[in-house]
Structures are given as structure tokens and as C-alpha cells.
Amino acid sequence: MSYCIYRTKSISQTNKTEQIMAKLFLVSVLGLLIAAYGVAGNVVYDKFNILEELEDMDIAEEDTDFLESPSWTSEHGGKVLVNVDSFGAVGDGVSDDTQAFRKAWDTACSTRKSVLLVPPGRRYLVNATKFKGPCAERLIVQIDGTIVAPDEPKNWDPDLPRLWLDFSKLQGVAFRGKGVIDGSGSKWWAASCKKNKSNPCRGAPTALTIDSSSSIKVKGLTIQNSQQMNFVISKSEAVRVFGVKVTCPGDSPNTDGIHITKSTNIVLQDCKIGTGDDCISIVNGSSTIKMKRIYCGPGHGVSIGSLGEDNSVGIVTNVVLDTALLRETTNGVRIKTWQGGSGYVRGVRFENVRMEDVANPIIIDQFYCDSPTTCQNQTSAVQVSQIVYRNISGTTKSKQAIKFACSNTVPCSNLVLSNVNLEKKDGTVETYCNSAQGFGYGLVHPSADCLSSQDKGFILIDRKDNAQLTEPTGDHIIHTEL
């Protein structure tokens, strides 16, 4: 299996990338629209193709030598090895190794070109800990052993109720190895209100968090049995995740695999995820998210959202999922928003996705309600537009293989389906549309005829002389808290 990296970009470069991606999306949709409408006057527009126009959004394959075996194994490597065992860690899975890990971190973080080593063949019991930066340059965290959490919720540190291993304010740090981060989550799951309605609904720790950091690489680790979310990337930029495995039982509540929030320029590649919730979830304040060669199952699919809960603003832009296999998940590729929210989801591409016995393979749900009580009808909504589904095939458990349940007051717009083929083993399939505007191009099964053919978000004008793409006038939602 090959892995790739991205060279670090500055914030200004990242913003420029986002602008380019947005423009490419508009051009590609124009191409599909022109192709669908056929001949414009005497000019035949047959050169526009969504693949060609979106090539620059693809994930480039680059060298990953920096993620290979640490050079400190070499006599001339120039690395400083900081072994947790040297600070008193026992590694028997019973003794509390928290202080040893904290001391080792303090040393490694303050030492240039250091390698913090968690050796193989041992189990290190570590309590909730914040590992804070900034650190000296070129720090490597090499995890080859197993880090295990205490299994009793009653004994959890009350000052860190939502965190286990939290890394923050880092720049240019690489996390790698063949080790395991094990959240020992079974008792947490049993205490969840989703397992037993008589239990109180409350949060639980996230196994691994990367927070307020930039230029981070994560490769090869296994994260399993998290108390709640497995791996969270929060308020960070330029994070590259390769070959990470996430695993939890399919009935473990709220155990999202990789959760991205308020982050930009994120790459997830060659990851295998099986959980009791979303394999990947992308929420407010996130942009330029690229996912490639993703395996998902069990789980709730690959989701944008939920967004807009409690009348909040939700903004997600420029997301690509390219090449994925979803097997026996409760959803496929999903966008979910609460009624009453505001903001927008735009510039999203799902392509080259194989579904195997997936319920709701393609779904937009603007009436999402993950609540023990009934959600009230509200008129405001997160706007969903510029969504492309391309080369999506396989089998569905649901009769409604494609479902666009959009807001009556804020309809979904610019939905484009191209080369979609979904079948049900024991029956026919259909597409459901409510307030959804867009069109199908090429093979689309089940048919997308229920989509409004006149897409209000984009208007072709002056077709005889010059086809142009314009957006309707109106106030754009501006989010000032990113």
C-alpha cells in the first residue's frame, strides 16, 4: 500500500486553494449543464467533462519517506530518543504510567529532533492527559506499543471529562507507528442513554485529539474501543492522516471514527474505519477536506454534519471523497442538518464509491433530529448546494436508494448525479425528492427525474451567442467566527 503527503502550505496559500477549488466546481457544473442542454445555437459544447474540470481537486501522490522508519535507528540519524520506559513507565497494563508519559513528553517536546518512543510489546495504562506544545522542531511520536485507558468511568478525571489523549498547539509533529490506542470503552457504552433510555445523556472522552495545531502527520496507528469519538481533528490546519485503522463495535454509541471540526486543508487516505457511528464526520468551520481510498463498515457512513443544531450556524465547503468502499453501513454518503440552523454546505464531490448492502446510499437530510424528543418544525435551514455524485454503484437495503429530503424554505440546489447505479437485491429502487433542484447526467439509476430540472442556483443566459454561468443575486451568509 502506498501513502502520500502534501507539502505544508501557508494560510494564504490555503485560502487561495479554496478559491481555486470553488471556481473549478462552478466550471465543472457549467460543463455538465451545457452537455445536458445540448447544442447552444451553432456551437456544440462537448468538451466539458466533470473529470477534467475537477482534476486539480484530486489528491496528489507524493513521497512519504519522512514517515518511514525513524532515522534514530541509524548511527548517524541525529535523533534524540526519549523512551517512556526511561521515565519509569512499567507497561504491564495495570500500573499507572501517566506520570512517566508526562515527564517523557516534557523532555521530548523541549528537545530538538527528538523521538518520543512507546516501545512495542507492552501495554501502558495512561489516564486523561493534555500534551501541550509548542514543541521544539521535528518532533516524532513513535507509538509501537499499546496505550490503554482506565476502564472505569467513575474513576475518570473530573477536570477532563471529554478528553483522554489530547495533543494541542503543535506544529510539524509526526505521529506514527504500528501501535494501538485503546479507549477501553465498553463500560462507557453501557452507560449511554442510547444503549439504555433510563441512563442520563452525557458526553464521554475522545480517545485521540489533535487540537489547535498545524502541519501534522499521522500514519499507521490503530485507534480502538474509544469511550466516545475515536479521533478528533479540531481547529487545525494541514493535517495528513495515512493508513490509520479505527475500530469499535457496530453498536457502540457515538463512536465516530474520524471527526473534523473547525479545520482546513485536511487529508485522510488509505484509512479503514468501522464504528458505531459515522466513519467520518465533518462539521462546522471545516473546508478543503480530501478523503481518498476509504473503507467504512460497520458504521453510519461518511457524513457532512450534523450542522445547525440549536439554531447554530454551520459552514462546510470544498469536500472531496474519492474512492471508497462502504459495506453494510446505515448510510452511505450523507449530508445532515437540523431545522432552524443557518449557514451552508457547498462545493462537495462524492465519486468512485462502491456500496455493498448499504441503507440510504445517497442521502441529504435537512430534517435531521437526533433527540429523545420530537424536533419542532422551523423555517430556517443550512443551505445545501453544489453537490456532485459521480461513479457511485452497488447495492442498497433501502427502497429509496437516493433521498433528497430538503427544506421547503431553503431548497437544496445544484445537485448533480452522473454515472450512478444502485440496485436492491430483492426489489426495485427509487429516488425521493423534496425541494431539491438539480439534474442527472448520463446513467442515473434510480432515475433522478424528481429533481427540478430548472436549477435556480445557476442560470444559462444568452445561449445563442455565449453561454455564461451566473448566480442569483442576494445576500450571502457570512460566518465571522471561523
- What is 198-237 written as a DSSP string? TS------EEEEEES-EEEEEES-EEES-SS-SEEEES-E
User: What is residue 409's three-state secondary structure?
Assistant: coil
Measured between alpha carbons, how far is residue 31 from residues 24, 133, 414, 465 in Å?
11, 47, 13, 16
Cα distance from N-terminal residue to C-terminal residue, the chain: 36
Label residues 423-434 b or e (16+ Cβ within 10 Å = b).
Answer: ebeeeebebbbb
- Using DSSP bridges, classify how beta strands 264-274 and 245-247 pair: parallel, antiparallel or unpaired: parallel
Cα three-residue angle 33-35-41, rounded to 5 degrees: 100
d(CA 467, CA 463): 5
Mean pLDDT by groups of 10 residues along the chain of 482 residues: 37 49 51 41 30 46 46 59 98 98 98 98 98 98 98 95 98 98 97 91 96 98 98 98 98 98 98 98 98 98 97 97 98 97 98 98 96 89 98 97 97 97 95 96 95 51 30 30 23
The values of phi and psi at residue 445, to 5°, are: -135, 125
d(CA 258, CA 218): 12
Q: Which amino acid is at 421?
A: N
31: cell is: 460543463
At 311 the pLDDT is: 95
At 20 the pLDDT is: 52
Which residues share a beta bridge with 424?
427
Q: Which of 182, 277, 278, 455 is catalytic?
A: 277
Which residues share a beta bridge with 290?
267, 320
Q: Which of 300, 322, 365, 455 is catalytic?
A: 300
At 11 the pLDDT is: 39
Which residues share a beta bridge with 174?
140, 217
SS (H, E, C) 55-78: HHHCCCCCCCHHHCCCHHHCCCCC
User: What is residue 423's three-state secondary structure?
Assistant: strand
- 130: how many CB neighbours lie within 10 A of its CB? 16
Is the Cβ–Cβ distance between 206 and 163 less than 8 Å?
Answer: yes
If we measure between CA atoms, which residue out of 210, 75, 73, 80 comes closest to residue 139? 80
d(CA 168, CA 176): 17
At 452 the pLDDT is: 84
Instruction: List the alpha helices (DSSP H) in 58-175.
Output: 98-109
> Does 46 participate in catalysis according to the annotation?
no
> Does 277 participate in catalysis according to the annotation?
yes
311: cell is: 439554531
d(CA 253, CA 179): 24
74: cell is: 541509524
